[in-house]
C-alpha cells in the first residue's frame, strides 16, 4: 500500500514540474502584434530553421550597413538603384587604384585633388618637353614622353645641358670625346702653369713680347760671359749689353739685375717655343691651341662635361648611346634654349611632379604609372 502511494506521489510531482516548465516557456513567448504568420510555424524546424536564422543574421547586417551609410549618403542616393550601380562602379575603379575598403570619402577626395594637381603639372610640362624632343630628333621623341620614365629622361637631359657653360658651347668638338685627352690636357695644364709662373716673374723685368729667339738669347749669354776688364773692347759684348738693356721693361733698369736673370729668361724662351711647336697639342686641339693663351681650364671643363654625358648614356652600342651622340652634337641654339628652360626652373617643376607621383603611388599601392 505504501509503495503505491509513493508512486502516485512521484507522478504528481512530475506533473507539477511539467506545469512549471510550461509556465516558464509560455512566459517567454513574445506578445502577438497581429501580423504574425502563424501558419508558418509548423515549417520552422530542421534545415528550414537554420536557413531562416541565416537570413535573419543577413537582414540585421543589412540594416546595420544602411544605418552606417545614412551617416554618409543622402536618402535619395541611398534608396536609388541607379546610385547603387554607380557606387559599385566607383568602388571597382577605386579598388583598381589600390585603395582599400576602409578608405574614407574625404581621403579619396584628397587623392582626387592631388591627381588633378598632378595632371595640371603634366599639362604645363608637355609643351616644353615636346619642343625639346622635336629639336633633338626622333631618338628623343621616343623617350621624352609624359610618363614617369619620360619625365626622368627629360630631367637628366636638362640638368646635363644646364651644367655646360654657354661660353663653352662653341668649343665643342670630336676631340673632347677622345679618352686620349685625359692624358694630354693635364700635361698641357702643368706646362702652362710653369710657363705662366715664369712669365709673371720675368715680366716684371723684361718686355716678353719682344724676346729674340732662344738661339739669340744663348748667343747673348755667351757674349756676356766675358768678365775681363777689357770686355768693353769686345764689340759682341757691347752689342749684347745693349740688346739686353733694350729688352728691359723699365728704362731705369740696371744691367746687373737683368743679367742675373738671363739664364732663366733663356730657359723660359725655350720652354715656350717647345710648347708652341708640340704637334700633339696643335693636331688635337686645332685652333683651340694658342700657346700661352690656350684656355686650358675651359678645355678641361668641357672634357669633363663630355665624360658626364657618356657616363649617363654609355659608349659604343648601348641602348642610349645615340642619345648621348645627339646631345654632344646638338646645335648651339638648341643648347641655349634648353639652358633657358633650366634657368626658368623647369628641373624643379619636374621634381615636384615626380614627388607628387611617388607619393600617390605609395598611397595607392596598385596605382599604374602614367
pLDDT value at residue 366 = 60
Q: What is the pLDDT of residues 68-110, one digit of tens each?
A: 777 766 777 667 777 767 767 766 666 666 666 566 667 766 7
- pLDDT of res. 290: 93
Global pTM exceeds 0.75: no
Q: How far is CA 285 from the centre of its chain?
A: 34
pLDDT tier, 5 (very low <50, low <70, confident <90, very high otherwise): very low
Grid cell, residue 307, equals 665624360
Q: What are 225-257's pLDDT values in tens digits?
A: 877 666 676 778 888 889 988 999 888 889 899
- pLDDT band, very low/low/confident/very high, at 128 (cuts 50, 70, 90): very high
How far is Cα 257 from Cα 247, in angstroms, rounded to an integer? 12
Identify whether the C-beta of residue 136 lies closer than 8 Å to the C-beta of residue 326. yes
CB 206 within 8 A of CB 247: yes
> Would you state the cell numbers that stand for residue 80, as one nine-digit string?
536609388
Residue 101's pLDDT is 58
Contact 277, 214 (CB under 8 A): no
In the block, residue with C-alpha cell 536618402: 75
**How many Cβ atoms from other residues are within 10 Å of residue 56's Cβ?**
10
Query: Quick one: pLDDT band at residue 12, thresholds 50, 70, 90?
Result: low
Does position 1 have pLDDT exceeding 60, yes or no? no
Tell me what pLDDT residue 50 has.
79
- The stretch 322-339 carries a mean pLDDT of 95
Q: Extract the C-alpha cell encoding 12.
A: 504528481
- Measured over the CA atoms of residue 7, residue 13, residue 18 and residue 21, the dihedral's sign is negative
Q: Write out the three cell numbers for 313.
A: 648614356
Give the Cβ contact number of residue 115 at 10 Å. 17
SS in 3 state form for the chain?
CHHHHHHHHHHHHHHHHHHHHHHHHHHCCCCCCCCCCHHHHHHCCCHHHHHHHHHHHHHHHHHHHHHHHCCCCCHHHHCCHHHHHHHHHHHHHHHHHCCCCCCCHHHHHHHHHHHHHHHHHHHHHHHHHHHHHHHHCHHHHCCCCCCHHHHHHHHHHHHHHHCCCHHHHHHCCHHHHCCCHHHHHHHHHHHHHHHHHHHHHHCCCECHHHCCCHHHHHHHHHHHCCCCCCHHHCHHHHHHHHHHHHCECCCCCCHHHHHCCHHHHHHHHHHHHHHHCCHHHHHHHHHHCCHHHCCHHHHHHHHHHHHHHHHHHCCCCCCCHHHHHHHHCCCHHHHHHHHHHHHCCHHHHHHHHHHHHHHHHHHCCCCCCC
Q: What is the mean pLDDT of residues 194-216?
A: 93
Percentage of residues of the chain with pLDDT beyond 90: 47
For residues 161 and 167, the answer to whether their CB atoms sit within 8 Å is no
Q: What spatial distance separates the first Cα and last Cα of the chain, rounded to whole Å?
A: 101
CA 169/CA 331 separation, integer angstroms: 9
Phi, psi (deg, nearest 5) at residue 71: -80, -15
Amino acid at each position: 500500500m505504501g509503495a503505491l502511494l509513493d508512486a502516485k506521489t512521484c507522478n504528481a510531482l512530475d506533473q507539477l514540474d511539467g506545469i512549471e516548465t510550461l509556465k516558464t516557456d509560455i512566459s517567454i513567448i513574445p506578445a502577438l502584434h497581429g501580423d504574425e504568420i502563424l501558419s508558418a510555424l509548423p515549417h520552422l524546424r530542421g534545415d528550414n530553421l537554420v536557413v531562416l536564422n541565416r537570413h535573419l543574421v543577413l537582414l540585421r547586417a543589412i540594416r546595420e550597413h544602411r544605418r552606417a551609410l545614412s551617416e554618409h549618403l543622402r536618402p535619395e542616393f541611398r534608396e536609388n538603384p541607379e546610385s547603387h550601380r554607380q557606387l559599385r562602379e566607383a568602388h571597382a575603379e577605386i579598388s583598381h587604384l589600390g585603395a582599400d575598403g576602409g578608405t574614407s570619402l574625404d581621403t579619396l577626395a584628397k587623392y582626387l585633388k592631388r591627381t588633378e594637381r598632378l595632371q595640371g603639372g603634366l599639362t604645363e610640362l608637355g609643351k616644353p618637353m615636346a619642343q625639346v624632343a622635336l629639336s633633338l630628333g626622333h631618338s628623343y621623341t621616343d623617350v621624352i614622353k609624359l610618363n614617369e620614365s619620360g619625365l626622368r629622361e627629360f630631367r637628366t637631359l636638362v640638368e646635363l645641358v644646364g651644367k655646360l657653360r654657354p661660353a663653352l658651347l662653341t668649343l665643342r668638338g670630336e676631340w673632347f670625346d677622345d679618352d686620349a685627352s685625359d692624358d694630354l690636357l693635364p700635361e698641357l695644364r702643368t706646362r702652362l702653369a710653369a710657363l705662366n709662373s715664369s712669365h709673371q716673374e720675368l715680366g716684371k723685368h723684361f718686355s716678353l713680347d719682344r724676346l729674340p729667339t732662344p738661339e739669340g738669347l744663348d748667343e747673348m749669354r755667351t757674349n756676356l760671359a766675358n768678365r775681363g776688364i777689357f770686355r768693353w773692347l769686345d764689340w759682341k759684348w757691347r752689342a749684347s749689353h745693349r740688346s739686353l738693356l733694350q729688352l728691359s721693361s723699365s728704362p731705369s733698369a740696371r744691367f746687373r739685375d737683368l743679367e742675373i736673370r738671363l739664364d732663366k729668361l733663356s730657359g723660359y724662351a725655350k720652354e715656350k717655343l717647345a710648347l708652341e711647336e708640340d704637334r700633339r697639342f696643335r693636331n688635337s686641339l686645332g685652333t683651340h691651341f694658342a700657346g700661352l693663351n690656350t684656355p686650358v681650364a675651359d678645355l678641361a671643363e668641357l672634357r669633363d662635361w663630355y665624360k658626364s654625358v657618356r657616363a649617363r648614356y654609355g659608349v659604343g652600342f648601348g641602348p642610349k648611346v645615340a642619345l648621348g651622340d645627339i646631345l654632344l652634337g646638338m646645335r648651339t641654339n638648341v643648347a641655349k634654349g634648353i639652358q633657358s628652360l633650366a634657368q626658368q626652373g623647369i628641373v624643379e617643376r619636374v621634381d615636384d611632379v615626380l614627388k607628387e607621383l611617388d607619393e600617390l603611388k605609395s598611397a595607392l599601392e596598385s596605382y599604374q604609372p602614367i
